[in-house]
Amino acid sequence: MEIMGSLRRPSVVLLTFSMLLYAVPILIMVFIPEVVSGDGPAQDAGKQIMWWPYFIPSLALPYYWGKKGVRAVAIALAVPAVFFAVMPFSHLAFSGMRIQGAMVTGGSLILALCVGCLAESSLRSRRAAEAQNKQLKSLFEASELFAFSLDPQHVLEQCLAIIRKSLGFDYADVWLLEDEGKILRKAASNVPPVFGAADTFSVDFCLPGLALSSEEGVYIEDPLTDERITDKTWVNQLGHSSEAALPLIYQGEKLGVIILANMERYDFTPERRELLQTFANQMTLAIKNAKLYREMEKKALIDELTELYNHRYFQEMLDKELKRAQRENKPLSLLMMDLDNFKLYNDTFGHPEGDKLLRQFGQVLQTAVRESDLTARYGGDEFVVILPNTDEIGAQQLVARITEKISHHNFPGFSRMPGGQLSVSIGSATYPVSAKDKVELVKQADDQLYKIKETRRKMQRVSS
């Protein structure tokens, strides 16, 4: 059997067996007194051998069951102890046996205590080693996760799971810096919503602020009495007994802070602090890698000049939105627009000014569309807007809103251009009314755009 496999309660059978072993000398003295009453070699050997069974339970029970085994030995020894204390012995040999019995009983109990203490110490060492192995395994799992996951939210959620399962904390919050490092925003949490902590707070607030300013972990073993926690609101609501804050810093760049809380008192030993800091360092690297990946991914989808989505992303999203419209049997509209007289503007003011105009127009366009709409630069001075769940009437309403926004914006240099202000030709098409698929939708919007543009050119030539 594995030594100290577990401290299970000693069974009734084993306890009964131990009591029988302890009863052997008593039975011998009562029923076979001639074995120990004489002075011959056989009697001397019998007097010695009869006590040996006492040491079997004293060794075995504490060895396998620790303190529970010691208690079992004490219960089992109660019978012979009482016997040797109160039973009368008329024979001188039996009086000596009483002394031997008392000594052996006491010795057996002392032996059981010693073995039990050693067993408990062994168990504690084993449990500590198992806990350390479990925590090291969690770090290895975290390393694997961080190495293969580039989704920031997935990384954070998995971190919370590891913190709870392997590091022994009941709750955790991850806060990331935003607004040029001025505020902390909650990025992930396993704290129940009922406790309702705010989603943002100042970067210098309480424990997180202390961890970020000191750039090292802050460990609180009693949040209610520790003066470093100036605001006890969350402590009173959650009712936890230990808390820690670990800054997430990558090569001097502060990314955020992770807050840990445990409902029971947590002993922040130097080994545990080192383990937590190692985990925080791994987590920081993973968050930084995920952010860099997202930035690169964003650059691949965003038009660098206007900061709108690019042509590639527009094509992908149009496919996606059109499939959803078909699946849900809902309308989908598309706007295509082109800046009038943009070539003339470029020739008059130069291409750098033309770039500024495109950037400014993109910003104005973003203010005109709805949050559910997707705006992209189609190419050159052409822009597109995908309007999910929008029919022809809704599309024309948005065209009117875009036109109004543009007319009220003072674009530089257009006082010297035909018409005195920037104008835009906008074509529209709606699925499934005027188009049945993606190709037809784009063609219909493009054709309408150039019909409007051609009409305006003719009007300009007539007016000139």
Within a domain: 137: no
Residues 6+ apart with CB under 8 A from 183: 177, 200, 201, 202, 203
Within a domain: 2: no
Above 60 in pLDDT, residue 36?
Answer: no
Same domain, 383 and 438: yes
Above 60 in pLDDT, residue 281?
Answer: yes
Residues 6+ apart with CB under 8 A from 193: none
Q: Which residue has the higher pLDDT, 103 or 450?
A: 450
Same domain, 429 and 351: yes
Above 50 in pLDDT, residue 5?
Answer: no
Taking the mean position of all CA atoms in its chain, how far away is CA 258?
10
Name the 3-class secondary structure at 262: strand
Burial of 333 (0-12, 13-18, 19+ CB in 10 A): buried
Contact assessment for residue 156 and residue 138, using Cβ atoms and an 8 Å cutoff: no
Per-residue model confidence (pLDDT) at position 37: 59
Residue linked to tokens 């090291």: 136
Within a domain: 49: yes
Strand bridging mode 382-388 / 374-379? antiparallel
Per-residue model confidence (pLDDT) at position 237: 83
Q: Which residue has the higher pLDDT, 459 or 434?
A: 434
Terminal Cα distance for the chain, rounded: 105
Continuous segment of H or E residues that includes residue 175: strand 171-178
Pick the most confident of 42-56, 292-306, 309-323, 337-351: 309-323
Q: Which residue has the higher pLDDT, 125 or 225?
A: 225
Within a domain: 145: no
**Number of structural domains in the chain:** 3
Contact assessment for residue 37 and residue 95, using Cβ atoms and an 8 Å cutoff: no
Give me the percent of the chain exceeding a pLDDT of 70.
77
Same domain, 240 and 354: no
| Residue 392 Cα distances to 188, 224, 387, 396, 399, angstroms | 41, 62, 10, 6, 11
* CATH number of the domain within which 159 lies: 3.30.450.40
Same domain, 265 and 386: no
Same domain, 456 and 316: yes
Per-residue model confidence (pLDDT) at position 61: 76
Q: Band of the pLDDT at 69, cuts 50, 70, 90?
A: confident
Q: How many CA atoms lie within 13 A of 257 on its CB side?
A: 29
Q: Give the full edge-to-edge strand order of the sheet including 183-189.
A: 200-202, 183-189, 171-178, 253-262, 242-250, 218-220
Lowest-confidence region among 6-20, 148-162, 251-265: 6-20
Residues 6+ apart with CB under 8 A from 237: 195, 196, 197
DSSP bridge partners of 382: 338, 379
For the segment 236-244, the average pLDDT, to the nearest whole number, is 88
Q: Which residue has the higher pLDDT, 37 or 416?
A: 416
Above 90 in pLDDT, residue 459?
Answer: no
Within a domain: 133: no
Distance CA 235, CA 103 (A): 57
Per-residue model confidence (pLDDT) at position 276: 87
For the segment 396-403, the average pLDDT, to the nearest whole number, is 95
Q: Band of the pLDDT at 75, cuts 50, 70, 90?
A: confident
Taking the mean position of all CA atoms in its chain, how far away is CA 453?
54
Cis previous bond, 432, omega within 30: yes
Distance CA 248, CA 225 (A): 26
Per-residue model confidence (pLDDT) at position 92: 40
Distance CA 406, CA 308 (A): 17
Same domain, 455 and 322: yes
Same domain, 223 and 346: no
Within a domain: 1: no
> What mean pLDDT value characterizes the chain?
81
Reported as a single tens digit per residue, the pLDDT across 187-204 is: 888 887 756 667 888 888
DSSP string, 93-117: HHHHHHHHHHHHHHHHHHHHHHHHH
Lowest-confidence region among 27-31, 33-37, 443-447: 33-37
Q: Which of 293, 321, 342 is the last residue of a domain?
A: 293
Above 70 in pLDDT, residue 383?
Answer: yes
Q: SS3 breakdown of the chain: % helix, strand, coil, rounded to 5?
A: 60, 15, 25
- Residue 197 — φ and ψ, nearest 5°? -70, 155
Per-residue model confidence (pLDDT) at position 41: 63
Within a domain: 303: no
If one counts every other C-beta atom within 10 angstroms of the C-beta of residue 460, the result is: 14
Reported as a single tens digit per residue, the pLDDT across 127-185 is: 766 766 666 676 666 666 666 667 778 788 888 888 887 777 889 989 999 888 889 99
For the segment 366-375, the average pLDDT, to the nearest whole number, is 94
Above 90 in pLDDT, residue 405?
Answer: yes
Same domain, 98 and 189: no
Contact assessment for residue 280 and residue 218, using Cβ atoms and an 8 Å cutoff: no
Q: Is the Cα dihedral 109, 112, 117, 118 positive or negative?
A: positive
Above 50 in pLDDT, residue 388?
Answer: yes
Contact assessment for residue 272 and residue 138, using Cβ atoms and an 8 Å cutoff: no
Per-residue model confidence (pLDDT) at position 161: 81
The H helix count followed by the E strand count for the chain is 14, 10
Per-residue model confidence (pLDDT) at position 426: 95
Distance CA 401, CA 332 (A): 18
CA-based nearest residue to 93, from 145, 50, 33: 33
Q: Band of the pLDDT at 4, cuts 50, 70, 90?
A: very low
Same domain, 269 and 332: no
Within a domain: 425: yes
The two tokens of residue 102 are 């008392």
Pick the most confident of 10-14, 79-83, 446-450: 446-450
For the segment 379-400, the average pLDDT, to the nearest whole number, is 95
Distance CA 408, CA 400 (A): 12
Per-residue model confidence (pLDDT) at position 35: 57
Above 60 in pLDDT, residue 415?
Answer: yes
Strand bridging mode 382-388 / 332-339? antiparallel
Same domain, 331 and 271: no
Q: Which residue has the higher pLDDT, 11 or 455?
A: 455
Same domain, 246 and 386: no
Lowest-confidence region among 131-140, 255-264, 416-425: 131-140
Domain that holds residue 255: 150-293
Reported as a single tens digit per residue, the pLDDT across 424-446 is: 999 999 999 989 999 999 999 99
Above 70 in pLDDT, residue 91?
Answer: no
Same domain, 192 and 83: no
Lowest-confidence region among 86-90, 433-437, 447-451: 86-90
Lowest-confidence region among 13-17, 93-97, 243-247, 335-339: 93-97
Per-residue model confidence (pLDDT) at position 95: 53
Above 90 in pLDDT, residue 319?
Answer: yes
Contact assessment for residue 59 and residue 115, using Cβ atoms and an 8 Å cutoff: yes
